[in-house]
Structure 1
């Protein structure tokens, strides 16, 4: 299953998106209370927009807007809502997304062509290692996409290495869909029970929720640690609840592919201007074909680089690299600008480090402060000093790093009712203890 438009020329793709954009703008003007008001306040007429570049005339939307005016984004009567999804919000309470039958069909199509992009075909067996409950979109999306693709699903859910291995041995999946760091626990379990992961049926993993690539598109430390013990094909993905769309790597593995029929992507600087070629910008998206809660020029907060040259796989749609940071997580520490992924890459290098938590806060003079809590196998091994030296050598600064109990750190990673572990907690405007 392939998306035909991705293989068209850049000119054909742009023409296709212009027509889809006109339809999306008319739909928002007719049915979205939020965007109808936005157009009115800014004196915007729908017939003004004839090119993709005309989008820049429209103010952007962000997650705080979604949270403050959540119900105003809804474009259909509640009687037409089939599924409710929630995602974390910047102001504390979750943001609700309402999905119609049409939106669920769109979600299934998105995931089917995304998984096909990564090489999955009808008849393959895929082990799904993420939850389908708790109002998450991800598990539902994978289930619907695998079903539409005609592949088979083993719904195991997250965690429990023993159960994962039992399912692998019983159902012989070719692919896993999981958070890549969990693969290290799978490897550890296999080694402690004296069997080799390479003797399993698993050939590839669709990696979700965590980056496995550096900014040069090479494997990062996490991926290298996995591949050291398990000969797999790791596929990077990028997705979010807000856009209900995924960017999956193809076999060439040089960035995740955009699906032009589902999304228009812009890459903006801090002032809302489009960044230049080869520059890092904030991904800003306009959804196409969404009926329940479509978004227009939504700033995701994710900083990444776009790749526009044709891919060896034959697709001509743009591709995105890994998330290199988030706009709200930029840290100015001792004169150096940092983003959490650079810190995590250093920590992921250490085999003897069992878990960690990065806390970003404010010190008593009002500047950014970093405190890293780690748990290690052997506190007397010298690992703490080694980690500090790595920070000094690679980032030129050394944050405060302390050793704590494993269970204590794991508890902290699920603060404020979070449904998934948080390796980075931003406490700015709060002094760190």
Structure 2
């Protein structure tokens, strides 16, 4: 890929407009879903001449993908090389079919993502994440690192003892993993006399969880990791549907868009563009995808953007950490809550080892919240401290249920789950 990330926005806009028009022709010719959608909304693709014209096109939703998954396929089944699927966090999983060209595009995406996060061919990355079960991220990271020429240790998730044994034996320079698991690595190391700062690992690509606040300062998870381990952390944001990642650079002021692979809009509740630094729903249009391209797909993720030139020299739009998911927003006793903010709060409480947040509707249709907590010590004093802290920070008092280690693990890892579940939404 030869796209220049330091190019002026006008050059990016020209490229994206060209690719958008190619996408519209491709969808009209090959996508059963978009053929019907265009007909239903009287879409004249020849009228789309600029990126501003994108706003005249209809949206695609998660429900569309769930209900009509196969109608999004633009190639014959013999062209499909890989079947990936979403985790099903917000409903039934969605299958994303990739062609050989899509896998190449995925590799290019992650090659540039790792390069953005100061990676190079001299690095060795230990992959502490799911590499099977149709998980796109696993094959994406592996393919991108191969393209970069870096060393790869495919160890998979969990088992701190094996992770440390492998680190000590193979001397990786970087790890890719979930931040809360990195914290468990630190805790294991301290308990077993391992000096994390004497290890070979100097940086971590953090996936699946926020390590920063929206002002890019470290949240409690990021603080706990960096206070114990002198390690460089890089945030990422991606989804199976977009087949693209936003990754932090050395400036750590947001994840960089790859404008040759994706068009991104941030929209308010009225589907109008928001200004920089104002929360909006991430809405994406994939560029260069062959198997299952998407047009104006509403991800449900809420974040902010900045389009000023980054100190790293890139002129690409940057996304803040995800504030929350639109469908996961909780209205509890007059207060608006998002699960990620509650996770940050619970991570701050020393008396809480682990947790699951559950929301359900009461008998009059209002949101109710119950926190399933694994306490460090189940005492009255600890309970009072936890409740007082939550009341002070949230200004409301959610229900609390203390659970055992076995109970919390059963809730977080139901059968076939690829990652720990921290939020259970039982609202109809």
Query: Same fold per TM (> 0.5)?
Result: yes
What does 1:213-224 correspond to in 2, within 5 Å? 213-224=212-223
- The structural deviation recorded for 1:385 is 2.0
Per-residue CA deviation, residues 266-312 of structure 1 (Å, 9 max, x unaligned), is 00112222122321000000000000000000000100001100001
Q: Which residue of 2 aligns with 1:406?
A: 405
Distance 1:381 1:143 in 2: 48
Q: Which residue of 2 aligns with 1:20?
A: 19
Q: Which residue of 2 aligns with 1:304?
A: 303
What does 1:175-190 correspond to in 2, within 5 Å? 175-190=174-189
Query: Given that residues 177 and 207 in structure 2 are in contact (C-alpha distance below 8 angstroms), is that contact kept between their aligned partners in structure 1?
Result: yes
Query: Given that residues 128 and 156 in structure 2 are in contact (C-alpha distance below 8 angstroms), is that contact kept between their aligned partners in structure 1?
Result: yes
Q: Which residue of 2 aligns with 1:227?
A: 226
Q: Which residue of 2 aligns with 1:254?
A: 253
TM-score when scaled to structure 1? 0.96
Distance 1:385 1:11 in 2: 57
Q: Which residue of 2 aligns with 1:339?
A: 338
Distance 1:114 1:247 in 2: 7
- The structural deviation recorded for 1:82 is 0.4
Q: Which residue of 2 aligns with 1:162?
A: 161
Q: Structure 1 stretch 283-292 or stretch 407-416: which is displaced more?
A: 407-416
- The structural deviation recorded for 1:190 is 0.8
Q: Structure 1 stretch 167-176 or stretch 288-297: which is displaced more?
A: 167-176
Q: Which residue of 2 aligns with 1:283?
A: 282
Distance 2:88 2:271 in 1: 22
- The structural deviation recorded for 1:388 is 1.8
Query: Given that residues 64 and 90 in structure 1 are in contact (C-alpha distance below 8 angstroms), is that contact kept between their aligned partners in structure 2?
Result: no
Q: Which residue of 1 aligns with 2:45?
A: 46
Structure 1 residues 92 and 417, CA gap change in structure 2 (3 angstroms): farther
- The structural deviation recorded for 1:130 is 0.9
Structure 1 residues 227 and 146, CA gap change in structure 2 (3 angstroms): same
Q: Which residue of 1 aligns with 2:386?
A: 387
Q: Which residue of 1 aligns with 2:200?
A: 201
What does 1:326-365 correspond to in 2, within 5 Å? 326-365=325-364
Distance 1:383 1:206 in 2: 34
Does 2:55 correspond to 1:56? yes
TM-score when scaled to structure 2? 0.97
Q: Which residue of 1 aligns with 2:312?
A: 313
| Cα RMSD after superposing both structures | 1.4
Query: Given that residues 352 and 376 in structure 2 are in contact (C-alpha distance below 8 angstroms), is that contact kept between their aligned partners in structure 1?
Result: yes
- The structural deviation recorded for 1:3 is 5.8
Query: Given that residues 324 and 340 in structure 2 are in contact (C-alpha distance below 8 angstroms), is that contact kept between their aligned partners in structure 1?
Result: yes
Query: Given that residues 258 and 319 in structure 1 are in contact (C-alpha distance below 8 angstroms), is that contact kept between their aligned partners in structure 2?
Result: yes
- 5+ unaligned residues in a row in structure 1: which ranges? none
Query: Given that residues 64 and 89 in structure 1 are in contact (C-alpha distance below 8 angstroms), is that contact kept between their aligned partners in structure 2?
Result: no
Query: Given that residues 351 and 386 in structure 2 are in contact (C-alpha distance below 8 angstroms), is that contact kept between their aligned partners in structure 1?
Result: no
Query: Given that residues 3 and 113 in structure 1 are in contact (C-alpha distance below 8 angstroms), is that contact kept between their aligned partners in structure 2?
Result: no
Query: Given that residues 201 and 231 in structure 2 are in contact (C-alpha distance below 8 angstroms), is that contact kept between their aligned partners in structure 1?
Result: yes
Structure 1 residues 176 and 360, CA gap change in structure 2 (3 angstroms): same
Q: Structure 1 stretch 386-395 or stretch 402-411: which is displaced more?
A: 386-395
Distance 2:222 2:41 in 1: 47
Distance 2:326 2:247 in 1: 23
Distance 1:188 1:206 in 2: 19
3-state SS of paired residue (1:7)? coil
